[in-house]
Every structure is written in structure tokens, then in C-alpha cells.
Amino acid sequence: MFAVGLVVFSLVFLALDYFVMGAQGLSLVFEH
């Protein structure tokens, strides 16, 4: 259940980062 929770909450926070900083902010992570 810990692993499931970790995946779910990570997605929640990723969505939050995307919502606030936009796609450009997130794509920086993958550029590097």
C-alpha cells in the first residue's frame, strides 16, 4: 500500500507542479 500511495501522491504533486509552473517548467527537468 505504501508503494501505491507513493505513486498516487507523486502524480498528485507532479500535476500540482505542472498546474503552477506550466509545461515549460516541467520540461526543464527532462532536458537536463
Catalog residues that contact another protein under the rule CB under 8 A: 1-6, 8-10, 12-14, 16-17, 20-21, 25, 28-29, 32
CB of 6 to another protein, least distance (A): 4
Minimum separation from the CB atom of position 30 to another protein (A): 11
Dihedral angle, C-alpha 11, 14, 15, 17, nearest 10 °: 160
CB of 5 to another protein, least distance (A): 3
To which residue does cell 502524480 refer? 11
Which of 5, 2, 1, 26 minimizes the C-alpha distance to 14?
Answer: 26
